[in-house]
Amino acid sequence: MAKKSLIQRERKRQKLEQKYHLIRRSSKKKIRSKVYPLSLSEKTKMREKLQSLPRNSAPTRLHRRCFLTGRPRANYRDFGLSGHILREMVYACLLPGATRSSW
Amino acid sequence: MGQKINPLGFRLGTTQNHHSFWFAQPKNYSEGLQEDKKIRNCIKNYIQKNRKKGSNRKIEADSSFEVITHNKKMDSGSSSEVITHIEIQKEIDTIHVIIHIGFPNLLKKKGAIEELEKDLQKEVNSVNQRLNIGIEKVKEPYRQPNILAEYIAFQLKNRVSFRKAMKKAIELTKKTDIKGVKVKIAGRLAGKEIARAECIKKGRLPLQTIRAKIDYCCYPIRTIYGVLGVKIWIFVDEE
């Protein structure tokens, strides 16, 4: 079980990323556009606008955590779970399609 | 020293069915798991809340199944509202939730299903998917290991001796037609200083045979001396 404060920080980052996702994407597209190229001063203005967004809204600040326990390591991307919670849930028949190999 | 594999996980795909049955793109599988967990938690919290509310009035045992009234207070308390498992099936526009419950007196009340559906709809907050809750009464409740585990837990919390509780649980399974049962309790039994494990076994229990249908439950009990673990295996049938 991770600290609740760290879990809440991560949740805040997720919400901020969702909130500013479209603004970030459209600003980056405008800066990099070749079809409608911006002038240098306009590019500078657009970059300043990008930099004024909150830092926690950057998608690179997100970190993958287990959604049940909040453990930051040994997480599987396909399940969103850490390793030993994944094992417990497989044995409790809660993951559809998961079976155990035996021969 | 050999370790025992979980009998349910070992038999998944052959004699053991999954409790969640749906398909998803690998990208969306995790969201489906989170949704399942929310649904199950909501149902269990609802029953927990209403069990506390309903414990003031007298809880009557199900009349179609005879409960051994060795001690009336203990027996009637332990046989209330135990969910054996919650089955979730998802289609494109519907989520089917089937609650397999041993004694569905609480959920049979008027308006309970609608209230639970409202809670679930609020919890899941999916706009384009309908919820469909069904209740399935378990045919033989004392064949289910977690109903037995709840029974033992209730006895141990009321200071009944652990050996008597184990024997009583095995006695309850004799009425149902099973081929083998094993009950194991580990921990500080009877409040002793040093912990140990006690085990009672009746009949056959072919744990290595995949086609043998075995039901299993692992259940921690909190007492004032610490945590006791109860494991129950029930050999139901052989295909």
Q: B203 burial class (0-12, 13-18, 19+ CB within 10 angstroms)?
A: middle
Q: Which residues 79-98 of A are in CB contact (within 8 Å) with B?
A: 79-81, 89-98
pLDDT (tens place) for every residue of chain A, 103 residues total: 688 898 888 878 888 888 898 888 888 888 878 787 878 887 888 888 788 889 888 998 888 788 888 889 888 888 888 887 888 888 888 888 888 787 7
Q: Given CB atoms, is B129 within the 8 Å cutoff of chain A?
A: no
Distance CA B223, CA B195 (A): 13
Element (H, E) at B70: none
Map residue A95 onto helix, strand or coil: coil
Q: What are the φ and ψ backbone dihedral angles of A92, each rounded to 5 degrees?
A: -90, 10
Task: Name the average pLDDT for chain B.
Answer: 75
Distance CA B211, CA B16 (A): 9
Element (H, E) at A73: none
Map residue B37 onto helix, strand or coil: helix
pLDDT digits (tens, 9 = 90+) for A67-91: 888 889 888 888 888 887 888 888 8
CATH-assigned architecture of domain B139-234: 2-Layer Sandwich (3.30)
Residue of A67, A68, A93 lying closest to B12 (CB–CB) = A93
The gap between the terminal CA atoms of chain A, to the nearest Å, is: 35
- What per-residue confidence (pLDDT) applies to B61? 44
List CB contacts of B40: < 8 A, sequence separation 6 or more: B86, B88
Stronger pLDDT, B66 or B17, i.e. the higher one = B17
Q: Chain A: give the shortest CA distance to residue B231, in Å.
A: 14
Domain locations in chain B as residue ranges? 18-53+79-135, 139-234
Chain mean position to CA B196? 25
Residue with tokens 């594999």, as numbered in its chain:
B5
- What per-residue confidence (pLDDT) applies to A9? 86
Three-class SS string for A7-71?
A: HHHHHHHHHHHHHCHHHHHHHHHHHHCCCCCCCHHHHHHHHHHHHCCCHHHCHHHCCCCCCCCCC
Instruction: Indicate the residue type of B6.
Output: N
pLDDT digits (tens, 9 = 90+) for B67-116: 433 333 333 444 455 677 787 888 777 888 888 877 666 666 657 777 77
Contact A95 B8 (CB under 8 A): no
**CATH class of the domain defined by B18-53+79-135:** alpha beta
Interface test with A, best of B3, B6, B28, B207 (most A CBs within 10 A): B6
Instruction: Indicate the residue type of B224.
Output: I
Residues of B within 8 A of A80 (CB-CB) are: 30, 33-34
Q: Given CB atoms, is A3 within the 8 Å cutoff of chain B?
A: no
Strand pairing report for B83-90 and B130-137: unpaired
| Under 8 Å between Cβ of B198 and B191 | no
Interface test with A, best of B3, B4, B29, B217 (most A CBs within 10 A): B29
Whole-Å CA distances, B135 to B79, B84, B94, B106: 17, 12, 16, 11
Q: Given CB atoms, is B9 within the 8 Å cutoff of chain A?
A: yes
